[in-house]
A and B are shown apart, each in its own frame.
Chain A
Amino acid sequence: MKIRTKINLSFILAFILISSIVGAVVGIYTTGIIKNNVYLYLSSGSRAKAEHIRTFILEQESTSLILAAGSAYHDFLMTAENSIEYPLQKEKIVKHFKKTLEAEPNIYELLILDVKGKIVAASNESEEGIDKSTDTFFTEAKNGAFFKDIYFSTVINKVTYAISAPIKDDDGKFLGVSVLRYLPENLFSIIKNENGLGKTEENFLINKDKIFISPSLFLGDSVILNKKIETKNANDCFNEGEIEYVKKNGYVGLKEFFNDNQINEALDYRNVDVIATHAYIPETGWCLITKADRAELMLFRKTLLIIFIIIFVIASLIYLLLSYIISKRITKPLDVLQIGVNKIQMGDLDYKVNTGTKDEIGVLSDSFNAMVMAVKQSRADIDIKVGEQTKELANKTEDLESQKLAILNVLEDVEKEKRQVEILANDLIKFKLAVENTSEQVFITDVEGMIVYSNKSIENITGFKPSEALGKKAGTLWKLPMTLDYYKNMWDIIKNQKKNYIGEIQNKRKDGEIYTARLNISPVLNDKNEVIYFVAIERDISKEKEVDKAKTEFVSLASHQLRTPLSAINWYTEMLLAGDAGPINEEQKKYLNEVATGNKRMVALVDALLNVSRLDLGTFMIEPEPVNTKEMAKSVIAELQPMIKEKKIEIKEVYGENLPIFNADQKLLRMVLQNLLSNTFKYTPALGTVSLQMRVIQKGEIFGEKVLSGASFAISVGDNGIGIPERQQDKIFSKLFRADNARESETEGTGLGLYVIKSIIDKSGGDVWFKSEENKGTTFYIILPDSGMKKREGTKKLN
């Protein structure tokens, strides 16, 4: 709840409380006072009226006395009825009556009664002569005035009261009674309600019997001499004490004497709540009842309440307004503060709250400002800290993210692997079967060469069962017939260099027989790059070897057998030509030269055939070693100089810069160059041009109209010779093939040169091709991997 509201509420509550208290107090007090006043008014009104009636009656009594004592009456009664003066006296009385009645309109009638009680004179002549001797107004009036309480007179047929007085002579002798009859209406007008207290105020008289003798406001005249009331008020009126007092003192001090107002709040004769008071009239023994309806009297209370409420409302409105204004003034600084707080909450830390007051709120707002500044400062600090930490966090998050990704990737991979493993598991069974059953010997050893697994073929090849081999060192089983160096080298490769070892090995079978095997040992590494196993695959190549050996021996033998006679022919021809057997003539010389030539051709052919056979047999080996290709080329050209000089061929040599020392088999490379260059010179006519290029070509470069897929050592030999006819170009690398134009131009030629080149180059990992046009020239292109010619195991070198 807002302070203002609180203030307002408290104000209002206070107001309500105070005004309620005040209102109540005032109300009660006022009510009391008013009530008192009402009572007073009632009682004093009542007494006043009673007093009035008393006076009235007393006056009437004195009138009666006076009349009774008057000479007229005296004289009348002294006159005997039969005297002459009687009518005169009577006349005087009548006049007297008339005058009296005129003077005293209240008197209803006058009566004079004689000593016997007979009406001897009456203002109402009809009543003369009536005997009233028994009437109290006669009987009681003999000594003094007598008040005859209100009664209904049959004589006059009215409600009346009478006051009588004795008529006495000078001696005091009773002569008669004077009676004055009054009508109570006179009284009625006295006690008539003046509406001072309201419409329900009434005054009425009751006699000593508590019977109405005046009309009731509410019940009318019918109550007169009819209705008796028994109200408290009425009873109180005839309280002896009060009667005595009033008789003595009148009404003065009545209140103080009795200590109250003689106010009664009770039910009246109608059973209605009234406030009533009374006043005793001792002269007549009457009681004047003055009463008013309580409701009506208390009506003022309602009025009071309404007034009070109106005042209250107005006052509270004013009060509200005041409290609102005041509270607003008080709380305005709070509002300012509130606004400030809001602004600051929004983030505007530079905002300064200014309430403009020096009161507690002002102080508070100052403190608040100070605090905000402190907050701002600390916020800045925090921001920095947070910034740093956020960065850290971001980094960490990044790391986490990457880790998460990595983990996810790993998980993915794991999943994949799992799947793959499952697939592999299946494959593994097949694989295992394959390995078990392959004719090649497969065994696995630990790092020291102890066999942990071998397949069935171990028995076929070595004679040892797998169970015999298990747990034994391979060397122990096969007795290591090779040289120590061999094993040292092998172990070095597989264990230290951790590379595959491929080679031939000789082992001993269980029965002692030595066999040759092709051996492939692969080290198996763990993730720390340590060797954990060796996997060895051996193929018994003894038979192959034998076959190869046989082939090789055959070729060797063949070449030897072929060459021997050729050598013999050569030498003897030579000797003949030299004249060792005697001089020879020109013709003999010529023929012998032919023989020698033919022989040389034969030798060349045999050589070529031998090489071809080796190529065909695939038994030749390639042993690359660093070769200075430029030197080799030059030396080959030097060998061919005779031909070059004879034909006067111009040779251009282009060697690439940084031509490296190339890994090549010396013999084979030389053979290639020899074949290539000799061909070129052979088939280029005199005065022709030959160009030789040797360089390193990079991957992607174009050489010989081909894009090279790898860096290569490239040789190109070009000429402007006879060229190769297009329709024969596809056969040019074939064995023993010579193009037609080649045959024509040059008789010598085996047709084997290009075949040999191609075989060598192909087996070395290179490529050879050419571009040629008949009668224009030919260019041959050779490329070899720049890493060198591929090493090739073989049994023989080519010639």
Chain B
Amino acid sequence: MQNKKVVLIAEDEATLRGAIKDELTREGISVIEAKNGEEGLRIALSEHPDLIMIDILMPKMDGLAMLKKLREDPWGKNVDFIILTNVSDFDEISRAMKVSEVKDHESFEYLIKSDVKIEDVVEKVKKKLGI
């Protein structure tokens, strides 16, 4: 039996975090949570998840800062991630793109929470994980 995929959700809104966690768990994906960027960074570096879902607007350290820090880590450089946001703030997103140093745009994924269905979220995650 292959290892369970681990997904880290860094999101300050508990309800949303909970919803995604429930759904992903139902799919057989292991989920670890962080409620802010600082925690997220710490957990990411220690747990080395297969995928990180990063909310942009978070206290203590926002998603982009966390991403930037991640990328400084040799492991973090290559980790997959999905950006979560509620605002279609393209400035933020394009900055995120720059920060992520993603070469091809296909790898750069972002989801607008208010617009997206939960099942689409799950789909995206599964796709990213190669499930």
Q: B90 and A570: CB pair below 8 A?
A: no
CA distance A565 to B22 in the complex (A): 17
Residue of B with least CB distance to A567: B113
Closest to A623 in B: B90
Segment of A157-165, A462-470, A542-550, A555-563 in the binding face: A555-563
Give a binary string over A596-630; 1 marks a CB under 8 Å from any B CB, 0 the rest.
00000001001100000000000000000000000
Contact B119–A578 (Cβ < 8 Å): yes
Q: Does B86 contact A (CB under 8 A)?
A: yes
New A-B pairs, 5, CB < 8 Å, besides A570-B117, A797-B89: A564-B13, A572-B15, A574-B117, A575-B118, A606-B114
Which residues from A are CB-within-8-Å of B22? 575, 580
Q: Which residues of B contact A799 (CB under 8 A)?
A: 87-88
Q: Cβ of B19 < 8 Å from any Cβ of A? A: yes
Q: How far is the CB of A560 from chain B (nearest CB, A)?
A: 5
Q: Which of A568, A574, A797 contacts B16 (CB 8 A)?
A: A568
B104 at the interface (CB under 8 A from A): no
Instruction: Tell me if A571 is interfacial: C-beta within 8 Å of chain B.
Output: yes
**Does B106 have its Cβ within 8 Å of any Cβ on chain A?**
no
Is the Cβ of A796 less than 8 Å from the Cβ of B114?
A: no
Q: How far is the CA of A603 from the CA of B26 in the complex (A)?
A: 27
- B72 at interface by CB-CB < 8 Å: no
Q: A563 to chain B: which residues have CB within 8 Å?
A: 86-87, 113-114
Cβ-defined partner of A564 (8 Å) among B89, B90, B91, B113? B113
Rounded to whole angstroms, the CA-CA distance of A556 and B86 in the bound complex is 9
Q: How far is the CB of B31 from chain A (nearest CB, A)?
A: 15
The contact sample of 29 A-B pairs, CB cut-off 8 A, is A559-B87, A564-B13, A564-B15, A564-B86, A565-B15, A566-B114, A567-B13, A567-B16, A567-B86, A567-B113, A568-B16, A568-B19, A571-B20, A571-B117, A571-B118, A572-B15, A575-B22, A575-B23, A575-B118, A578-B119, A580-B22, A580-B26, A603-B114, A607-B114, A796-B89, A796-B91, A797-B88, A797-B89, A797-B91
CB distance from A476 to the nearest CB of B (A): 31
Q: Kindly list chain A residues whose C-beta atoms are within 8 Å of the C-beta of B87.
A: 556, 559-560, 563, 799
B97 interfacial contact with A, CB 8 Å? no
Task: Find out whether the CB atom of B16 lies under 8 angstroms from the CB atom of A556.
Answer: no
Contact call A560/B19, Cβ cutoff below 8 A = no
B contact set with A: CB distance below 8 Å = 13, 15-16, 19-20, 22-23, 26, 57, 86-91, 113-115, 117-119, 121
Is the CB–CB distance between B26 and A568 below 8 Å?
A: no
Question: What residues of A have a CB within 8 angstroms of the CB of B20 in the complex?
Answer: 571
Q: Are A571 and B19 in contact, CB atoms less than 8 angstroms apart?
A: yes
Q: Which residues of B contact A556 (CB under 8 A)?
A: 57, 87, 89
Residues of B within 8 A of A796 (CB): 89, 91
A574–B118 touching, CB < 8 Å: yes
Question: CA of A634 to CA of B103 in the docked complex: distance in angstroms?
Answer: 30
Residues of chain B lying within 8 A (CB to CB) of residue A575: 19, 22-23, 118
Distance in Å: Cβ of B111 to nearest Cβ of chain A? 10
**Minimum CB–CB distance for B70 against chain A, Å:** 22
Contacts of B19 in A (CB 8 A): 568, 571-572, 575
- Tell me the complex Cα distance, A575–B19, Å: 8
Alpha-carbon separation in the docked complex, A566 to B23 (Å): 18
B119–A570 CB distance below 8 A: no
Closest to B115 in A: A603
A570 to B113, CA, bound (A): 9
Q: Which of B16, B26, B117 has the most CB of A within 10 A?
A: B16
Given A556-B87, A556-B89, A575-B23, is A570 in contact with B118 using a C-beta cutoff of 8 Å? yes
Contact A574 B119 (CB under 8 A): yes
A563 to B55, CA, bound (A): 13
Residue of B nearest to A566 (CB): B114
> In the assembly, what is the distance between CA of A564 and CA of B118, in Å?
13
List chain B residues, Cβ under 8 A from A578.
119
Chain A residues positioned under 8 Å from B113 (CB to CB) = 563-564, 567
